[in-house]
Structure 1
């Protein structure tokens, strides 16, 4: 019995991951009936929660899973740069990291101008659906991107991109801009919330630059705003500079002083 419970806990690769019954059973290698019976017991004891989307780790389970990844060093390195960026731009600044198959929000500085729901510290979301997620995906090779999407699908996630070709085209554009992901108020329907190809005439509501190799996983620094108070293009070099300084300091190198952007937004 203990072995089966362990298999079920190991099925959750990250603290905020939600899985269907089939996803848990598949990863644990157990029959559906056995998985369901054990999950029901774990729910009663608050090790697992049941949500409209499936199963997730509960209050007790999170105590153990949350210790798996400690991002305190990255947060400490990034903090002064996030605050400085917020003061210079007047826009909410976010630090996110690729955790398992999710984008995890580590820090937020500033409030009031962002329209992005669920962007509180500790929130998780699909990588393809935000500028920060796409900035992180851009540092991966296409094969790794597809494996991440496939892993999400195997886990029973429902917030997946409708198809991969549009995502690859979007990431190609991000790579051509040196990793700079841009979100505008107007998007073409059909690619996912906030993740479509953009109209050059629309206001910038999101910018993100990657922080490669943060504690072995990509991270990103993002600016998010409402269409009524858009982000100005002069914020781009400030964002890129902050991201590069965080990356350099996290790696123990001297910070760069002259960041460049290969293409404008």
Structure 2
């Protein structure tokens, strides 16, 4: 099967004979970034994804396996235990995560739904925490995973205060037939988020799954979002879920403000949203009466 090279955002140009320390780090970063989801990759796949010479990729892979950054199983490679260890330490050292965790568990107990803590990383949301039981498998998210911000309730909750990301973008990539397909369609949604303090996702990221999210941050800003997600049959898009989610978001921010310094709003500098095919006229309109704001 022929694999189409992935158009990595912000991909750097690296010459084959680059040997300076910064160039070596750039190449290792490019290689590790190729592991953008679950599953293993072969040497050939990594060469196609990175655009680096096969010999260079092979040498780096061997060294990264020795250092436990990667793990080899036959001809396949996957992220190694050292990265898992560092990722776990990073999450648990993060002040936002520490401030939020007790309240996330309380929200999960109160609603029985999957609870996420998310931040914005460029045009994506990254999940810092996922608390679930039973229905967690049905919700296709994972800690450390990312999804297009405009397709998620959490993403819209933060994008409402980062509207400049939409500048210069017209069509948006869609995950389902219900996804918002254009910046023109998304902007009114973000206006509602700013006005009501809550964002909704009705099968926009995953068929059969809905979410309710609220921004975490000071008035007029958002550094993160908290959300509850579950099967559409268990979701209510009104005060029954909006109120506890908003209260949780406010409680988390109060805990964060007790810390010594302000939480950074994003992991990386803002970059434009991924553009994609224009929204189909068959998609469900997001200003439908079925989408209610409290």
Instruction: Quote the RMSD (CA, aligned, Å).
Output: 4.4
Tell me, yes or no, if structure 1 residue 124 matches structure 2 residue 145.
yes
Provide the residue aligned with 1:157 in structure 2.
Answer: none
Preserved CA contact (<8 Å) 2:210 2:229: yes
Return the match for 1:183 from 192, 198, 201: 201
For 2:101 and 2:250, how far apart are their aligned partners in 1? 14
Tell me, yes or no, if structure 1 residue 161 matches structure 2 residue 180.
no
Preserved CA contact (<8 Å) 2:117 2:129: yes
Shift of 1:219: 1.5
Shift of 1:2: 7.2
The verdict on how the C-alpha distance between 1:236 and 1:14 changes in structure 2, with shifts beyond 3 A counting, is farther
Preserved CA contact (<8 Å) 1:209 1:240: yes
The verdict on how the C-alpha distance between 1:180 and 1:205 changes in structure 2, with shifts beyond 3 A counting, is same
Provide the residue aligned with 1:252 in structure 2.
Answer: 258
Deviation larger for 14-23 or 95-104: 14-23
Provide the residue aligned with 2:27 in structure 1.
Answer: 8
Larger-gyration structure (1/2) = 2
For 1:92 and 1:67, how far apart are their aligned partners in 2? 23
The verdict on how the C-alpha distance between 1:206 and 1:171 changes in structure 2, with shifts beyond 3 A counting, is farther
Q: Secondary structure at the match of 2:232?
A: coil
Equivalences for 1:195-214 in 2 at 5 Å?
A: 205-212=210-217
Provide the residue aligned with 1:28 in structure 2.
Answer: none
The verdict on how the C-alpha distance between 1:38 and 1:146 changes in structure 2, with shifts beyond 3 A counting, is farther
For 1:77 and 1:180, how far apart are their aligned partners in 2? 20
Provide the residue aligned with 2:270 in structure 1.
Answer: none
Deviations 1:64-84 (A, max 9, x none): 566667653222221332233
Provide the residue aligned with 1:103 in structure 2.
Answer: 125
For 1:5 and 1:12, how far apart are their aligned partners in 2? 11
Shift of 1:264: 1.4
Preserved CA contact (<8 Å) 1:82 1:93: yes
Q: Which runs of 5+ in 1 are unaligned?
A: 26-30, 148-159, 188-192, 196-202, 254-262
Provide the residue aligned with 2:157 in structure 1.
Answer: 135
Preserved CA contact (<8 Å) 2:31 2:46: no
TM-score, normalised with respect to structure 1: 0.61
For 2:168 and 2:77, how far apart are their aligned partners in 1? 24
Tell me, yes or no, if structure 1 residue 240 matches structure 2 residue 246.
yes
Q: Secondary structure at the match of 1:177?
A: helix
Preserved CA contact (<8 Å) 1:102 1:124: no
The verdict on how the C-alpha distance between 1:63 and 1:99 changes in structure 2, with shifts beyond 3 A counting, is farther
Q: Secondary structure at the match of 1:264?
A: coil
Q: Which runs of 5+ in 2 are unaligned?
A: 1-18, 38-44, 260-291
Between the two proteins, the alignment pairs up a number of residues equal to 221
Q: Secondary structure at the match of 2:217?
A: strand
